[in-house]
Every structure is written in structure tokens, then in C-alpha cells.
């Protein structure tokens, strides 16, 4: 069995596949580029919904500005881990932007937030906050570029880690056999986009690459026995 990864893997992640007896192909379906930005004031409560946003924040804010952050609201375990490793307190970790927005509306409605996001960010979180009159300033800190690569074959599974990755793959492969593969997605937000292009979509139990790999391995092995 062979799976396709729309993101280059780390050695320990490749090891998980090799130990499971799966062959794999890997490439980066997207690349991100940090955008220069300036802040005129300190931001005490911030929202970060991706590791890209977290890295851009850490790379561009001064130590004084980072220390001024009193509370961070994040999406994804890896995003939270990156922030905590760099001394930023994370108040809430959600599985996706909509879940995070609902938590903020229910528990922090009268507070003001700064949302550090990508230029192609999804609408769910800012829309929900706006509809519920939660003050939120958006600061674009990175942008995403699609990488076009087509595959004239099917795979037993294709693993996706962002809606942008799904869109990049689908755009390049809408007329190829690869689009008939099973899509394994890191979270529900990515899966929502995948369902627009794939007949069969399976969502990971947790929002991490390792969990998505485990879900694919378990599913494909179960299917091979039927």
C-alpha cells in the first residue's frame, strides 16, 4: 500500500510509516511566507490558529511585546506546544477556529483580542466573533502559496494537513486518477474542504500529523483484511 503526503515529513514521522509497512510519496502542496508587519501597541490577548501564525509571531515581535501577551487562544496541539515552549501562556486550545470562537463568545465576550492570521485565513472564527460583538483586530503575518504538482495514479490514501493543501492538490489533480483516492485529514476544517473534492474523507482523532498517520495506517490495514 502506498500513501501520499501533501507535506514533507520529519524522520520520526517517516519511521512510523516504515514500521507499519506502508510505502509513501511526499511533497509540499503549499509553502508559506512571512509578511512584514508592525504593531503600534502591546497586545494582551491574542488568537493564533496555526503553527505558521505562531512562528511569525515569535520571529517578528520583540521580547517586550511577547512578554506583554498575557493570554493566548490557540487552535491545535502543536500550535499550543510551540507557544508554551517560548513562554507564552495558552488559555484555551481548540480543535478548530469555530470551536475556539464559540469558547471566546461564551467565556470572554467583553474582552478585546488580536488575531494573528494568514492572508487566506478561513472565515468561521472572525465571522462568529463579529456576529457576537467581540472586539477583534486582525493582523496578517503570513501568506500561503500553492505548489502545482499532478500525479497520474491513484494512492491508497492521501494525507492532508490544511484546507490550503487540499485546494492546491485538487486544483492540480482534478482530472487525474489521484482524485479518486481516500482523503485522510488532520481535522474537521480540512475535511470540510476535502469533501468538496473527494468521495471518501476520514478525519484524524487528534489534530497532529502523528495522529493522522495512525488513522491512515489503522484504516488501510482494516480495509486490507476485508
Tens digits of residue pLDDT in 172-226: 998 888 888 999 999 888 999 999 999 999 999 988 899 999 999 999 988 877 6
Ordered by start, the domain boundaries in the chain are 2-29+147-224, 32-144
Instruction: Please state which of the four CATH numbers 3.40.50.10090, 3.20.20.120, 1.10.510.10, 1.10.240.10 is assigned to the domain occupying 2-29+147-224.
Output: 3.40.50.10090
Q: Is the pLDDT of residue 114 over 90?
A: yes
Residue 226 has a pLDDT of: 66
**Nearest-angstrom CA–CA distance, 132 and 142:** 26
Let me know: does 37 contact 139? Beta carbons within 8 Å.
yes
Residue 196 has a pLDDT of: 95
Condensed to tens digits (0 to 9), the pLDDT of residues 45-83 reads: 999 999 999 999 999 888 888 888 899 999 988 899 999
DSSP 132: T
Determine how β-strand 23-26 pairs with β-strand 2-5.
parallel
**Nearest-angstrom CA–CA distance, 17 and 11:** 10
Instruction: For domain 32-144, give the fold.
Output: Rossmann fold (3.40.50)
Question: 2-29+147-224 with 32-144: one CATH topology?
Answer: yes
Q: Is residue 46 classed as helix, strand or coil in its secondary structure?
A: strand
Range with the poorest average pLDDT among 91-105, 124-138, 211-225: 211-225
pTM: 0.78
Closest C-alpha among 49, 72, 188, 59 to residue 121: 49
Let me know: does 42 contact 112? Beta carbons within 8 Å.
no
Closest C-alpha among 132, 96, 86, 87 to residue 113: 132
Average pLDDT over the chain reads 92
Let me know: does 115 contact 136? Beta carbons within 8 Å.
yes
Q: Is the pLDDT of residue 133 over 90?
A: yes
Amino acid at each position: 500500500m502506498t500513501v501520499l503526503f501533501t507535506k514533507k515529513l520529519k524522520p520520526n514521522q517517516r519511521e512510523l510509516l516504515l514500521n507499519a509497512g506502508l510505502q509513501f510519496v511526499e511533497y509540499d502542496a503549499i509553502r508559506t511566507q512571512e509578511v512584514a508587519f508592525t504593531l503600534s501597541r502591546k497586545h494582551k490577548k491574542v488568537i493564533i490558529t496555526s503553527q505558521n501564525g505562531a512562528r511569525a509571531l515569535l520571529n517578528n515581535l520583540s521580547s517586550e511585546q511577547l512578554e506583554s501577551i498575557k493570554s493566548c487562544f490557540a487552535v491545535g496541539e502543536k500550535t499550543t506546544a510551540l507557544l508554551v515552549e517560548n513562554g507564552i501562556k495558552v488559555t484555551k486550545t481548540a480543535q478548530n477556529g469555530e470551536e475556539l470562537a464559540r469558547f471566546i463568545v461564551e467565556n470572554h465576550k467583553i474582552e478585546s483580542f488580536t488575531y494573528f492570521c494568514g492572508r487566506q485565513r478561513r472565515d468561521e472564527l472572525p465571522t462568529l466573533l463579529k456576529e457576537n460583538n467581540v472586539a477583534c483586530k486582525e493582523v496578517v503575518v503570513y501568506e500561503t502559496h500553492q505548489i502545482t504538482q499532478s500525479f497520474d495514479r491513484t494512492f491508497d490514501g492521501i494525507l492532508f494537513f490544511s484546507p490550503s493543501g487540499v485546494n492546491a492538490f485538487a486544483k492540480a489533480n482534478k482530472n487525474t486518477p489521484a482524485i479518486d483516492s481516500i482523503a485522510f485529514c488532520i481535522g474537521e476544517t480540512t475535511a470540510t474542504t476535502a469533501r468538496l473534492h473527494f468521495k471518501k474523507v476520514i478525519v484524524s482523532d487528534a489534530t497532529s500529523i502523528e495522529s493522522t498517520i495512525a488513522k491512515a495506517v489503522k484504516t488501510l490495514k482494516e480495509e486490507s483484511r476485508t
